[in-house]
Structure 1
Amino acid sequence: MSTESADAVQTSMGAEGVDAATDARISEPPASLREFFSYMGPAWVFTASQIGGGEALSVPVGGAYLGMQAIWLIPLITFTKIFGQYYLVRYGVMSGNTFLDALYSQPKWLKWIFYYVFLGGLVYAIGLSGHLGETAGAAQNLLSVGAVGGLSGTDFWMIITVVAGLGIVMLRSYEIIEKVSTVLLWSFLALIAFVSLFTAEQWIGGLASGLVPSIPGYVDGLGVGGLAFVATMFGWIGAGFGPTVAYVWFAKDKTMGMFEPKADGVNINKSDLSDEEISRLKGWGDMVLWQNMISSVILAVFSFFMWTAAAATLHGTEIVASGELGGFEVVPQMAVIFTTVYGEWSAIIFLLSVMAALFSTLIGPLYGMSRLWEDAFAIHGVFDNYNITRETVFRLTVVLFAVIPLSLNILFEAPLFLFAISGILFAPAVGLMYLAALYMSYTDVDQPGLVPIRRWAVGLAVFAGVALIAATMFEVYPTIMDLIG
């Protein structure tokens, strides 16, 4: 296994990856809270990656422009999308194959989603323009740098951010990404919780009406409104494309469930699993469910704090009324919240924290999406037929996904525009992944005992998948035309 805690769980496993006492080829799932949290790493990385995405960008912009209106989207999205992601990760843990591997072997009517997900990496990279641009904007606000070689100060900080991200991801170490992301996650969550609660008297009165579903108004900062805003939020709040895809590879690197014997080189088919192994796999499936539930609660709470803090301190202000809360200035303007509540020192801490959170969104998906492309090339026989290694493809892909948002930001200087466009375009990919993973979970008849049994969870996952597709397709074309125009 990839960590010391994982080794502790497998103390009874022999050299061949077989439990000497029961002949089981799969370790027992965590039986204590300590063991459980030792396996929460993939969820922490996912949550940190997601918080630095839609939760740190679109959520506060929504609160600033809409006040408490449309805050009902937060619980709806976070507590439905998480079940789609659960079945996506569960499929891999139960089968030992990522959903990408499984999709490639499906009939043509379903196989095409493989290429949609594959190309979705490029669309997601476009959305990373928002994270990169806002990180650089915060850095420029903290430590202003003049023009360097024809590049602005913000461009300079974007290059520094990309170099730092590449330095971490190029190590190809899941353990390092897990540790960095976990620290960044809890630091930022604690900070925004304090400011939201401190300003509660300013937003508590509008909470009840905000939880009543209504179509939101236009949000200048994102350039969308109405159902297009709902589609953008569905794409970025909760389980987003990049973090969701990366989560599957995090679970693989953590060697959970059926990923374990595959990593040990043990030949195992679901059709010949023993009753003990089936029981253990179900336990790992429950582990994935609780991972996702905890992550969903954190995302919902964090989003709530971000929205209410922005609604309390930015809604109705001059910069919002003028429609100028956008570009590279969203994070610096968010720092006004902390200056207002605590003083200048807290704004500095906030800027450092949000930079860290946005940075975690860069490194997590960069790692996961690059692993996805690496495996996709392997499926097509690239490493068998050409003189190129998996590590080389991984590193080239990391550079590609980093260069795309950097180049777009330097050329267009519209990070949130690119962020919104990306969210609208890749949301259907997330919905299709949810539905495809559920379909494959039921049609995989090698082991009927491992099919999903929680009908309520399946229902929520289906709702999330359909909602992502439907909300995006409605008004997508006119919205894109309006943005381009």
Structure 2
Amino acid sequence: MQTPTGSEEPTSTGRVKSFVSNMGPSWVAGAIAAGPATMGSLITAGGAFGYELFWIVVLSAVAGAFAQYLAMRLGLLTERGIVGVVTDQLGDTWAWLLVLDVVVAAGAAQLLIMKTVAGVSATVTGIDSRLWGVVWAGVLAAGLATRGYRFLEVAAKVLVGGVVVAFVASLFVVPIDPTAAVGGLVPSLPSGSALVAAGILGGAVHITLITMHSYTMRARGWTVADSDLATFDVVASMLVAFGTYSVAIYLVTASVLTSGDLSTVEAAQALGPLAGPFAKSLFLVGLLGAAVSTLGANTIVPPFLLADKLGWETSVEDDRYRGLLVVAALLSAPGAFIGGPVLSQLALVLAIGTVGTPFAIAVVLYLLNSSAVPESNSPLANLAGLALLLVSGTLAANFVREQVAAGIGPLSGAILIFAVVLGLGTVGMFGKFIRREGAPA
């Protein structure tokens, strides 16, 4: 942040305190990342493979922070929402493709997140989960319609902070094997672990997190002058808070659970007889906080992109945008009525989001090396971005191949079409970049 004219340069301690008090946008992304889908993948990995996938848990926090850094940089350099920039640089077709990508990924996730929120609320209170679905949808609609982004940001910081504290506290009541945990930092993929590893990484590097960041920074009025604050925000939320959240859950489940076939609620209940009632309570409290924060943060993503594409303001001062928020919130209520095992459903939704993520990464990399920004990406940032694209693309391809191998039905067929369209879009993005770079100045 800029130092006011005539004032003394702040000390390092004062600068950090200022950053801590002003951070926020990346915590909204962190609220989505630290959600029940990621938790489900961590529980499955820890219960089924013990400490062997600890390395992918650590890698996911680093990769997630870097993806948010790229999105942050694009938002600061353009000072616009990503859809508007895509429209100017690539055209309407590409912009609508990005909007469709986000609406499908975030919309599918919203229903399962509500199912988790309602299920945990029912477990804690004994009241029917379907009633909780209606109640939470109403609370969400009222909060977002009246307070908008600021309401969400404050809630995200409080809830994510509380969730991290709850799961870190659980480390002190569950026996951890430090030697085995350190051994898990050596990269390996035991048989049958590829999909769950993809789920862990996909929870941190996701299309909703990447595309929403330019809008949350606009809501705060951040510009290039706030680059240091924005970077601190990303590191604190994604690398530190989300990383701690992931590590704590993974170590707890890897140390105690012996099955990866448990839902998030079942995992919490299993901790009671295995590690004591306090461990169960901490896990349930953490799960509820994570689910509620994710529900709110995920709700605003489709309205952000739709409003930007339609030329509306992305704040509650615009009644049209306010209406989008209310509709998105209320449409989450049916999630509480979905039957079936939530863990496998969450994994599927996370994987669907993973299919849409490579296209979003390609869009960001294209824009960061275009006339949309006054300063192009460094070669090192581009190289790291391409590595991130390769990893996410490989995970998406493996998921689609697995779906097709199991037989093409209505769901797998829809996933295949979604993947093909976005895959062609990603390849087309690179084709446009090569043609642009090869064109005479």
TM-score, length-scaled by structure 1: 0.73
Letter paired with 2:163: F
Tell me what 2:415 maps to.
none
Tell me what 2:432 maps to.
none
The 5 Å alignment of 1:347-366 reads 347-366=280-299
TM-score, length-scaled by structure 2: 0.80
The answer to whether the 8 A contact 2:145-2:325 is kept is no
Tell me what 1:407 maps to.
334
What is the CA-CA distance between 1:79 and the residue it aligns to? 0.9
Work out which of the residue numbers 174, 177, 200 in structure 1 matches 2:152: 177
Tell me what 2:170 maps to.
195
Gaps of 5+ in 2: 7-12, 413-441
CA 1:402–1:50 in 2, change beyond 3 Å: closer, same or farther?
Answer: farther
Quick check: which one's helix share is greater? 2
Gaps of 5+ in 1: 1-5, 13-20, 22-29, 146-152, 219-225, 258-280, 382-388
The 5 Å alignment of 1:329-340 reads 330-337=264-271, 340=274
SS of 1:250's equivalent in the other structure is helix
What is the CA-CA distance between 1:126 and the residue it aligns to? 1.1
What is the CA-CA distance between 1:373 and the residue it aligns to? 1.5
CA 1:291–1:398 in 2, change beyond 3 Å: closer, same or farther?
Answer: same
The answer to whether the 8 A contact 2:23-2:233 is kept is yes
Q: Looking at CA atoms only, which structure, 1 or 2, has the larger radius of gyration? A: 1
The answer to whether the 8 A contact 1:235-1:427 is kept is yes
Tell me what 1:276 maps to.
none
How big is each residue's C-alpha offset from its partner over 1:247-276, in whole Å with a ceiling of 9 and x where there is no partner? 32111100000xxxxxxxxxxxxxxxxxxx
Tell me what 2:122 maps to.
140
Give runs of ≥4 in structure 1 deviating > 4 Å.
9-12
Work out which of the residue numbers 198, 202, 205 in structure 1 matches 2:179: 205
The answer to whether the 8 A contact 2:113-2:335 is kept is no
1:341 aligns with 2:316: no
CA RMSD for the aligned pairs? Answer: 3.1
Identity %: 16
Q: Distance in 2 between matches of 1:42 and 1:473?
A: 31
Q: Distance in 1 between matches of 2:57 and 2:282?
A: 26
Q: Distance in 2 between matches of 1:240 and 1:114?
A: 18
Work out which of the residue numbers 421, 428, 435 in structure 1 matches 2:348: 421
Tell me what 2:429 maps to.
none
Letter paired with 2:87: Y
CA 1:197–1:114 in 2, change beyond 3 Å: closer, same or farther?
Answer: farther
Tell me what 1:384 maps to.
none
1:466 aligns with 2:390: yes
The answer to whether the 8 A contact 2:122-2:129 is kept is yes
Work out which of the residue numbers 85, 90, 111 in structure 2 matches 1:129: 111
Work out which of the residue numbers 245, 249, 269 in structure 2 matches 1:302: 245
What is the CA-CA distance between 1:193 and the residue it aligns to? 0.8
The answer to whether the 8 A contact 1:103-1:111 is kept is no
CA 1:349–1:126 in 2, change beyond 3 Å: closer, same or farther?
Answer: same
CA 1:425–1:52 in 2, change beyond 3 Å: closer, same or farther?
Answer: closer
The answer to whether the 8 A contact 1:232-1:420 is kept is yes
Q: Distance in 2 between matches of 1:76 and 1:378?
A: 38
SS of 1:443's equivalent in the other structure is coil
Tell me what 2:358 maps to.
431
SS of 1:413's equivalent in the other structure is coil
SS of 1:444's equivalent in the other structure is coil
Tell me what 2:226 maps to.
284
1:168 aligns with 2:143: yes
SS of 2:34's equivalent in the other structure is helix
The answer to whether the 8 A contact 1:125-1:402 is kept is no
Q: Distance in 1 between matches of 2:185 and 2:156?
A: 31
The 5 Å alignment of 1:310-321 reads 310-316=253-259, 320=260
1:242 aligns with 2:208: yes
